[in-house]
Amino acid sequence: MCYLIVLIGLSIYGLHRYEIVYLFLKHRNNKPKPLGEFPALPKITVQLPIYNEYYVVERLLKSVSELEYPRELLQIQVLDDSTDDTSLISQRITEELKSQGFDIELIHRDDRTGYKAGALEGGLKTCKGEFILILDADFLPSPDMLMRTVHYFTDSKVGMIQTRWGHLNRTYSLLTRVQAMFLDGHLLLEQTARSRSGRFFNFNGTAGLWRRSCIDTSGGWQHDTLTEDLDLSYRAQLEGWKFIFLPDLVTPAELPVDMNGFKSQQHRWTKGSIQTCKKILPTVWRSKLPFHIKLEATAHLTSNFAYLLLIFLCVLLNPTNDGLGHGMWRSILLDIPIFAAASLSSAVFYFCAQRTLYPKGWMKEILLLPLLLGLGIGLALNNARAVLEAVFNHQSEFTRTPKYGIEGKAQRKSNNRYIPLKSLLPFLELGFALYFTYFVITAAIHGQWLSLPFLVLFQCGFGYVAISSMAQWFPKVNIEPDEPADAVPA
């Protein structure tokens, strides 16, 4: 019975992916347009929240200085909470830009109260702009980004504009290529489908512009969750503000190049989404929003519970081998429904994203689909732990994702400053890989050929994540980037 409940839960989330694909295809040509143009351009503040971004902060500030916008209407805030030599680099470049006539200030906090949300809230005290562009340290805005977005704010109801993330180092490794596919699905299909169908969607934390009054009237930046962006997004839309997503305007960023950095990022996003779910979802259902918006918000905010269901599926798998027997009835009752509702929905979801983004090279990317599914499974323990921590109010820090200033294909250099994270989780993941090795052998012996591909995905997914996590503990496989130019040695 428990196994059936888990399957139904996973199938519901799988069916939701089909709905997202449907909404995307239905609305993909309904591109938003500005109501008009500002007769006089407004003042814009660029906020750059930074914490120990030694390898990328110089690149960030250089790209911001190249934004094509009247200098007298542009304010730059470097919100630097760093505890390493990043602050020295920030200070040097800030002084250089100030000497060139930029309105730029460096705000350094001695403590990280509120983490990123606290830094953004602190910056508002001296913010001069009517609109605010937020950029994380590894993002590189195109020079025309502001001119292509600001006029959407001529609609007084628009509170936020989100651009689509690109990937500076997509081709760096197999891991970054698969990560890019993960993000493409969310950043293209989900955001487009939700924004153009009138559902709620969220600011992605960076590469977007806010109306200052939207932030203020929605309660400001709050740091009681690890995803302050998702939290504020829902509060703002509940206040009636309109959000716009621009999939054709790409702001590239650096993907995590090591497994532990990727897992840390996923843990933070997963835990924060469940924290936001607990905080916001009751308010959503008490509101006067249409039922279909409430339902979509529920699917959105609870989606990461699927990782917990996936772990339950792993644990409950053993009793079912004998419970439902083998052969045709098992295939009809279990294998085919699971495939159609869960696995096939994921395949359709990511296929649609790749086919849309890369009309000429999508087949090459789709060949990585089994690896993408395996990686998603391999992350289940990491993300299920995040879900449980959020459910049981376990407090944890906002852990930054290491970025190295890497672009393009693999490169190995010297003087890596970041110490790989170590925990017992990879050993548990390895245990699950061995656990599924037993099921692979059992399925082969009993001729369960339809089940075999799924079991291999679980086996390889957990095995790959575990081994990649452990491998990073050894210096010979660390990512070792260059020191930035004119950097102060650690």
Active site positions, annotated: 81, 229
Please report the beta strands in 109-191, taking only residues with DSSP state E, as ranges in sequence order: 131-134, 158-167
- 77 contacts 123 by C-beta, under 8 angstroms: yes
Nearest to 152 by CA among 241, 250, 40, 35: 35
Whether residue 184 contacts residue 255, with contact meaning beta carbons closer than 8 Å, is answered with no
408-411: long-range contacts (C-beta < 8 A, 24 or more apart)? Answer: 408/168, 408/169, 408/171, 408/172, 409/171, 409/172, 410/172, 410/173
Q: How far apart are CA 102 and CA 343, in angstroms?
A: 52
Number of residues that make up the chain: 490
What gap in Å lies between CA 346 and CA 339, rounded to an integer?
Answer: 10
Amino acid at 186: H
Residues 304, 270: Cα–Cα separation, whole Å? 6
Q: Can you name the residues that pair with 404 across neighbouring β-strands?
A: none
Helix (H, G, I), strand (E, B) or coil at 15: helix
For 106, the token pair is: 């460096």
Q: How far does CA 70 lie from the centroid of its chain?
A: 32
CA distances 443 to 41, 225, 327, 373, 467, Å, are: 66, 43, 11, 20, 24
Task: Please give the Cα distance from 469 to 426 (Å, whole number).
Answer: 6
Residues 6+ apart with CB under 8 A from 398: 112, 115, 116, 226, 268
Buried b (16+ CB within 10 A) or exposed e, 169-190: bbebbebbbbbbbbbbbebbbb
